[in-house]
Amino acid sequence: MRGLRAFVCGAGIVNAAGIGLEKTWEALRNEKPCLKPLSLFTVSHAPALPAGEICEALPSEQTVPRTHSLALLAAREALSLSPSFPEAIVLGGTTGGISTTETLIRSGETRPERYRYHALGSVATYLACELKCRGPVISVSTACSSGTAALKIALEMIRRGQARIVLAGGADALSRLTYYGFHSLQLIDPAGARPFDLHRGGLTVAEGAAFLLLAGAEEPPDGALAELVGSGLTCDAYHPAAPHPEGAGAGAAMRIALSDAGMTAKEIDYINLHGTGTVDNDRAEARAIRDLFADPPPLSSVKGIFGHALGAAGAIEAVVSVLCIARGFVPANVGCTVLDTGLGLRPLPRGKSGKIGAVLSNSFGFGGNNAALIVADPSRPSGNAERARVMQFDLLGTACLTGAGLTDATLEKFRRGGELGGRFDLATLGGDLFGGSLRRLRRLPRITLILARAAQKAAGMADAAGLPGGIFFGTGWGPLTETNDFLKQLFASAEQFTSPTDFIGSVHNAPASQAAIRLKATGPNVTATGGDYSFEQALFSAALLTKEGDDPVLVIGADEHHDILSPRLDPASTAGDGADGGAAFILRPRAASTGLRMVPAFLSYVPENQDAIPPLIEALGGPERICNQFAAVFAGIPASAHPRGESYIAAFLQRTGFTGMVYDYRGTTGEFSGASAVAAALAVDAVSRGVLPTHPSGVGKEPLGGKGILLLGLGEFVTAIGVMR
């Protein structure tokens, strides 16, 4: 079957220039910065530093946080010419509802319902509800490359036949966390962003949202604006905040994007630079471009106009790239008045008109997360290669950590029917799993690194030279300790003092980046953050972004319990005993496998009162196949979704005629967002031994009869993962 191409059939944008494509276009043509002193909230120093703030009224901001409002505005513009609802949504971001959370924390609010929109994943779920999306919804947080990483996942969804209409992009609002965080790192230029200027002094924090509506087709649909033809994701595996000085990861991402598009460097007509205006980032990007392009095409950064909208920046610049192709124009490198000639690049001092056939757009973020994408004229010929397949995985190594301990202790207790909840004292883990350098890290990155190292050992790769296949990390809430400590110090000091270390550590992808540095994992480094379904989103992303023959990847799901924040943010945590932990898997991508394997089979957002079971059963191959393949169901029903989840499992059993054991694993793992990853590790153990565990009711220790175990997530999302031989 011929592969589908991903055509851009709609675009929407909100940024410092205002709401809508035309205001962005006007700002690009006028070549004037849209930056001014921050006024969204009062700051403790004077004058306020410049920011890319949106000054127009946001219609829904009274009911949802600012990020959600920005996202909905941009999404609706992208969909304005489409007669269909999106079949899938992929959203990149870093702030979620933190701007509202900051106000609530400072006021002393403790009621969980007031924090319902805190999570990064809540932005994508809010869009899915408002826009009537009934398919996969994935939230990505890879720092400042989030929006571009989201577009790469969307591209692969279309190529691999998972959806034909995908809304993808990014959204982030200004917040105290990001404003004071970058200020604490001394990375904000008081004169405004000056990309590639000799006297550049840092970035300008900004906000915004942007989306592309991608339609899968073999030939360009009527009205197509552009085509997303390729993308590359890499990780520096070098430093938590600083880029690789030689731009190694950035260069690799661009080369992968070119290869993915089937293009050469000479076919690129314009490079949209990441170009933040920080000394190190501009230098590293310039080095990477010089190494790849013997004679670089016209290039510029638009962050001197709009500022740096963090997780939304890559999506904003993807929309700018589409405008360049659709309207035949490349923008100026605004803000640069004295060119830093030592960088060896000459960004455009003025915009210019002309036909643009292909644009390369770069986005790089904390943790060395690099992303590059290529958009092209939709009339460009394409070979329409064979449709790629969604991967399944050979299981090479598994590790888990619960209140009972690391893998062996957890599995031993699980086999006896014991409960695994609570929190394990990480200080008791020593040896090569917990070296001295890890003791400086807080709870979630320590959990992540312990799991990564243990899974590597279980796979017999402890002495291997790195893990080049990459890391896919799922976390519902990210590093709560660092976030709490940053905000606690900020508010206790009347917003005078903050910790740069806590700021760097507070981003959701920080634990995965730490793992990449220690494992030398230079492939994609993707953090998914979809609440109770974060592990499933990470695994599904890995299945989309890998192909047969790729190096093994590390997939992790983990979360920490925080005594202050967890009861406020996570409704499930109030029903448990403060459980946390997670699991990690070394997986080899396969198109098909007959060994011990893990198969991500279904991921769908489900609104209230919608029957999710028929599409689930269809995706799993029908009742007969389900009963033939699986001996047991491990059901994950979060405490906050019990009535809905119980109705789903009842409907599943009734419609499939399944008579095997149904095991509600959250009663064993405890209530936390990483529970599904732990359940997957428990299922791997049972399938590898060929026997069901003892159920807390006393039922169990029955042979599986060569069948596997089906893990179902049942609640706001419905998910399915098969573990089988």
How many CB atoms are located within 10 Å of the residue 237 CB? Answer: 26
Q: What does the pLDDT look like over 169-216, one tens digit per residue?
A: 999 999 999 999 999 999 999 999 999 999 999 999 999 999 999 999
pLDDT class of 81 with cuts at 50, 70, 90: confident
CA distance 126 to 108: 26
Q: What does the pLDDT look like over 20-79, one tens digit per residue?
A: 999 999 999 999 999 999 999 999 988 999 999 999 988 876 789 999 999 999 999 999
Q: What does the pLDDT look like over 378-433, one tens digit per residue?
A: 998 876 667 789 999 999 999 999 999 999 999 999 998 899 999 999 988 755 55
pLDDT class of 700 with cuts at 50, 70, 90: low
**3-class DSSP state of 312:** helix
Global pTM reads 0.97
- pLDDT score for 232: 98
CA distance 58 to 76: 13
CA distance 696 to 692: 12
Q: Check whether 84 has a pLDDT greater than 70.
A: yes
CA distance 72 to 198: 38
| Residue range 96-106: mean pLDDT, rounded | 97
Number of H helices, E strands in the chain: 22, 25
Q: What does the pLDDT look like over 607-656, one tens digit per residue?
A: 877 888 999 999 999 999 999 999 999 999 999 898 999 999 999 999 99
- pLDDT score for 610: 82
Q: Check whether 717 has a pLDDT greater than 90.
A: yes
Domains and CATH numbers, the chain: 5-376 (3.40.47.10), 392-724 (3.40.47.10)
DSSP string, 427-459: GG--GGGS-GGGGGS-HHHHHHHHHHHHHHHHT
pLDDT class of 698 with cuts at 50, 70, 90: low
DSSP string, 68-128: HHHHHHHHHHHTTT-SS--SEEEEE-S-TTHHHHHHHHHHT---GGGGTT-STHHHHHHHH
Catalytic sites, residue numbers: 144, 274, 308
User: Are the C-beta atoms of 336 and 309 separated by less than 8 Å?
Assistant: no
- pLDDT score for 83: 84
Residue with structure tokens 């270390």? 501
* DSSP category for residue 221: P
- pLDDT score for 699: 54
- pLDDT score for 433: 57
* Arithmetic mean of pLDDT over the chain: 94
